């Protein structure tokens, strides 16, 4: 069965369309109107191997908050739909990614139990035109709509661009590991409960 999903969501603040293919090659078409956010989502697609098409038209005349948060919501919903009943997947993933002086770490569980632990201190208020507070908002909305327990941190670093990019790439590699199917788990869910 193909592990793909397409979700569209329109509100008074945003109009978003997302397509994902969990078994892709990391190919992407991304346009949120926020250059730095596009850069991060591109890294997420490429390094996870998940094909992503993301289009967001948001109220950027206000700020980027609604566009970033709502993109996380729709991407999370698409991921949850594509992963389906979670039969045969490894379920857990973790990665540590260096980006020059910064280190991004991610550990996650595709558990159906949404949770976020986020720990990163940014030196400035913005990366490009993106408010650095919005990184946590994206990770939260993605995790809660994907049904993922997500711990993502940057324990050290001095350059905010490097910190953010290291975390997105760590998330990508952890997702790649967790979504992989394992022949040892064929036909079963990795849980003593028998379901996730």
The answer to the question of residue 190 being in a domain is no
> pLDDT tens for residues 143-191?
999 999 999 999 999 999 999 999 999 999 999 999 999 999 888 898 8
Number of independent structural domains in the chain: 1
Whether residue 176 is contained in a domain is answered as: yes
- Output the DSSP codes for 57-117: EE-TTT-SHHHHHHHHHHHHHHHHHHHTT-TTB--EEEEEEEETTEEEEEEEE-SS--EEE
d(CA 13, CA 11): 5
Residue length, the chain? 196
Q: How many angstroms separate the most distant Cα atoms in the chain?
A: 51
Cα angle: 136, vertex 88, 96; to 5 degrees: 35
Give a yes or no: residue 126 inside a domain.
yes
pLDDT of res. 63: 95
Within a domain: 194: no
Domain of residue 143, CATH code: 3.30.230.40
Other beta carbons within 10 Å of 120: 21
pTM above 0.85, yes or no: yes
């Amino acid at each position: 069965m193909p592990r793909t999903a397409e979700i569209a969501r329109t509100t008074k603040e945003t109009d978003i369309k997302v397509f994902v293919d969990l078994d892709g090659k990391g190919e992407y078409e991304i346009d949120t109107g926020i250059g730095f956010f596009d850069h991060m989502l591109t890294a997420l697609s490429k390094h996870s191997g998940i094909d992503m098409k993301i289009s967001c038209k948001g109220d950027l005349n206000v700020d980027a908050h609604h566009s970033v948060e709502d993109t996380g919501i729709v991407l999370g919903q698409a991921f949850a739909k594509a992963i389906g009943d979670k039969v045969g997947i490894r379920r857990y993933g973790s990665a540590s990614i260096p980006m020059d002086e910064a280190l991004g770490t991610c550990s996650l569980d595709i558990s159906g139990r949404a949770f976020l632990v986020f720990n990163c201190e940014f030196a400035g208020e913005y990366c490009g035109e993106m408010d650095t507070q919005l990184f946590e908002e994206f990770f939260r909305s993605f995790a809660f709509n994907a049904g993922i327990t997500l711990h993502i941190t940057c324990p050290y670093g001095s350059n905010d661009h490097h910190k953010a990019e290291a975390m997105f790439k760590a998330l990508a590699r952890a997702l790649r590991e967790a979504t992989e199917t394992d022949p040892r788990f064929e036909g079963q869910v990795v849980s003593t409960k028998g379901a996730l």
